[in-house]
Amino acid sequence: MVRRIETIGNEVIFSFEGQPVTARAGDSVAAALTAVGISHLRDSVVSGAARGVYCMMGACFDCLVEVNGVPNRQACMTEVRHGLDVRRQSGGVEVRS
Amino acid sequence: MTRQFDVAVIGAGPAGLAAATEAAQSGLSVALLDEQQAPGGQIYRGIETASAARLKLLGADYAEGRPLVEKFRASGAEYMPGSLVWNVTIDKVVEFSRDGASSRIRADAIIVATGALERPCPLPGWTLPGVTTAGALQILLKASGIVQEDAVLTGSGPLLWLLASQMVDAGVPPRAIVETVPNGRLLQALPHLPKALWQRSYLFKGLSMVRKVRRAGVLIYRNATGVAVEGATFATALNFTAGGKPHRIETRTIALHQGVVPNQQVTRLLRCDHVWDSSQHCFRPVIDAYGATSADGVYVAGDGAGIGGAKAAAIQGQIVAIGLALRAGRGNGERLAHLHSALAKEASVRPFLETLYAPAPQILSPADDTLVCRCEEITAGSIREAVRLGAPGPNQVKSFLRAGMGPCQGRVCGLAVSAIIGEERGETPDDVGYYRIRPPLKPLLLSEIANFATSDAQEHATE
């Protein structure tokens, strides 16, 4: 279980895999997902193994997710906003035109 | 026109903030670029927005970030938050992406204040969701006020105890601390104790943290070996041996820590000379007493020059800035002697801590089947195999296996890969060397380069 030591106050609602997630304004996507117990953010590029937040400071690139259709976004470096559509990323990403 | 500054500072942690403030106050034009949206770096993460309750539980050392940030805000230095620096050239052009578009500035001097990264902790299962660095749990607490229940903290270093005591104060103590410090380390560290007594407040603080964590009923295991995370799609337990017995603690939250190391990305990109620090078990750029590297006009302040902690970082930032001001014929050096002696005092505790908390043998020489490069999923065994096939260093191992070629660009695995190669070849880390770092310093969207600010692009086209 995860606890917030303060009340959420200013709520922001975004979605992960189509499900609504309530976050605190100013949270990163990675923090907001951690707070609701979601740790599996992507499947790795080589073996397809489950991955999630590791460093929380933009260095490890293990928390890559798709944000509003753009892949390979660092969840820990992306601030939550109302209506953000966040998706789990599976394996490598195709180059799209 | 590319905007020109006297000084460009990269990083808004204690070193960068202090350097930018000091340089601006002495009349130099200063730009401070930082990837985060708010100042403080990782050590003072969330310092401007933390509630009174959060400030209290994070402690007095954290609160020291407040005046540092306030002085910076009032200094007149230009602050560029949300700026991802992706290239720095030897002619001191800094290229960065901000709000989806790139631009560049030019400076007479560059102060690299990019701080530290967590040392790689390759052990079985360390890539499973639920396993993070200890720093990650602390960032969650500082920046978002989030604490996870039943966490198990494992490894070595003061941060484990600091994090545990902050979690105790937050009312959510960790389940256990599993320390990998071998028996006998304290004895090895004792010769450094007299010097450390010069900065004894750190020692007392450490002892009081340990007492607080014990009193809170946190399970404490010492001299743990064979640490391994169990789980299929997420962490479910931590296994280890301690006191001659195997242990298994069920948990979904495991934090790893083996100390922090300088972030070398910018100084390696600039081909600054680096040296292996055998006490800190890491590479650091070679600098003089004023933070100057081997690259003309490039300076380093803070943990990026070798781990010294937040207070030392702020002092170093001031020293570098005063040095630059003096060279520009501004300010005076009256405070330099005082700052250098304050820095020496801060450093006095380091040899004791570095000996006591030297990284665990298990992570310096991971088992063959342990993943080392997380991005490209390369094991220690395959790195050793590449060395046996003739790869003499990290860049050849990178060519053979793609180790260090994923999106983190070797930030996480670099030191571990160099160490494994050195052990296999019987060479020192200085002989083995490190990954050659190239721009962009972080992966970018093509649109972030395509959207180069128009005036910059025109100038570039006519150059």
Residues of B with CB below 8 A from A60's CB? 374, 408, 411-412
What are the pLDDT digits (tens) for A51-77?
A: 999 999 999 999 999 999 999 999 999
Residues B87 and B137 in one domain: no
CATH value at residue A44:
3.10.20.440
Domain count, chain B: 3
Interface probe for B, chosen from A4, A5, A95 (most Cβ of B below 10 Å), is A5
Chain B closest-CA separation from residue A5 CA (Å): 5
Q: Is residue B358 part of a domain?
A: no
Confidence of residue B462 (pLDDT cuts 50, 70, 90): very low
Residues of A in contact with B172 (CB under 8 A): 3, 5
Structural domain contains residue B320: yes
Asked if residue A97 is part of any domain, the answer here is no
Q: In this predicted structure, which of A1-5, B12-16, B134-138 has the lowest mean pLDDT?
A: A1-5
Taking the C-alpha atoms of residue A73 and residue A29, their distance in angstroms, rounded to an integer, is: 10
Task: Decide if B144 and A27 are in contact by the 8 Å CB cutoff.
Answer: yes
Q: What distance in Å separates residue A19's CA from the closest CA in chain B?
A: 20
Residue B39 has pLDDT above 80, yes or no: yes
Q: Is the pLDDT of residue B240 over 60?
A: yes
Q: Mutating which of A24, A42, A62 best tests the B interface, going by the most B Cβ atoms within 10 A? A: A62
Question: Based on the domain organization, do B380 and B428 belong to the same domain?
Answer: yes
Rounded to a whole number of angstroms, the distance from the CA of A21 to the nearest CA of chain B is 15
Contacts of B133 in chain A (CB under 8 A): 54-56
Q: Which domain holds residue B153?
A: 121-257
Q: State the Cα–Cα distance between residues B310 and B346, nearest whole angstrom.
A: 10
Query: For residue A43, is it within any domain?
Result: yes
CB of B396 closer than 8 Å to CB of B383: no
The answer to whether residue B378 is domain-embedded is: yes
Q: What is the mean pLDDT of residues B95-112?
A: 97
B77 with B46, same domain?
yes
Q: Which of B55, B161, B172, B59 is nearest to A4 (CA)?
A: B172
Cα(B311)–Cα(B208) distance, integer angstroms? 20
Is B196 in contact with B349 (CB distance < 8 Å)?
A: yes
Question: How far apart are alpha carbons B110 and B104 in whole angstroms?
Answer: 13
Domain end position, chosen among B198, B228, B257: B257
Instruction: Write down the pLDDT at residue A45.
Output: 93
**Assigned domain for A75 exists:** yes
Q: What digits encode the pLDDT tens for the residues B192-205? A: 999 999 989 999 99
Radius of gyration (C-alpha) of chain B in whole angstroms: 22
Q: Is B422 on the interface with A (CB under 8 A)?
A: no
For residue A55, tell me if it sits in a domain.
Answer: yes
The range of the structural domain enclosing residue A48 comes to: 11-90
The string of pLDDT tens digits covering residues B327-357 is 999 978 899 999 999 999 999 999 999 999 9
Domain tally, chain A: 1
Q: Which chain B residue lies closest to A28 (C-alpha atoms)?
A: B144
For residues B264 and B257, what is the distance between their CA atoms, to the nearest angstrom?
Answer: 19
Residue B455: the pLDDT is 54
pLDDT tens digits along A16-40 = 999 999 999 999 999 999 999 999 9
The CATH number of residue B32's host domain is 3.50.50.60
Tell me the chain B residues in contact with residue A42 when contact means C-beta distances shorter than 8 Å.
none
- Model confidence at B235, pLDDT cuts 50, 70, 90, reads very high
Q: Is residue A5 part of a domain?
A: no
Are B22 and B90 in a shared domain?
yes
Residue B463 binned pLDDT confidence (cut-offs 50, 70, 90) = very low
Report yes or no: A47 at the B interface, CB cutoff 8 Å: yes
- Does A92 contact B at CB distance below 8 Å? no
- Residue B342 covered by a domain: no
pLDDT value, residue B333: 87
Q: Are residues B11 and B52 in the same domain?
A: yes
Which CATH number does the domain housing residue B416 bear? 1.10.10.1100
- A&B contacts, CB < 8 Å: 133
Q: Cα(A90)–Cα(B463) distance, rounded to whole angstroms?
A: 43
Shared domain check, B249 and B274:
no
Residues 61-80 of A with CB under 8 A from B: 61-62, 64, 70, 72, 77, 79
| Whether residues B39 and B111 fall in one domain | yes
**Could you tell me which of B114, B376, B158 has the C-alpha nearest to residue A59?**
B114
Q: What angle do CA B151, B156, B158 make, to 5 degrees?
A: 90
B112 and B143 housed in the same domain: no
DSSP H helices, B177-309, are: 185-189, 193-196, 200-215, 265-269
B295: left (phi over 0), alpha (psi -120 to 50) or beta: beta
Interval B446-455: pLDDT, tens: 999 998 876 5
Candidates B137, B147, B445; nearest CB to A5: B147
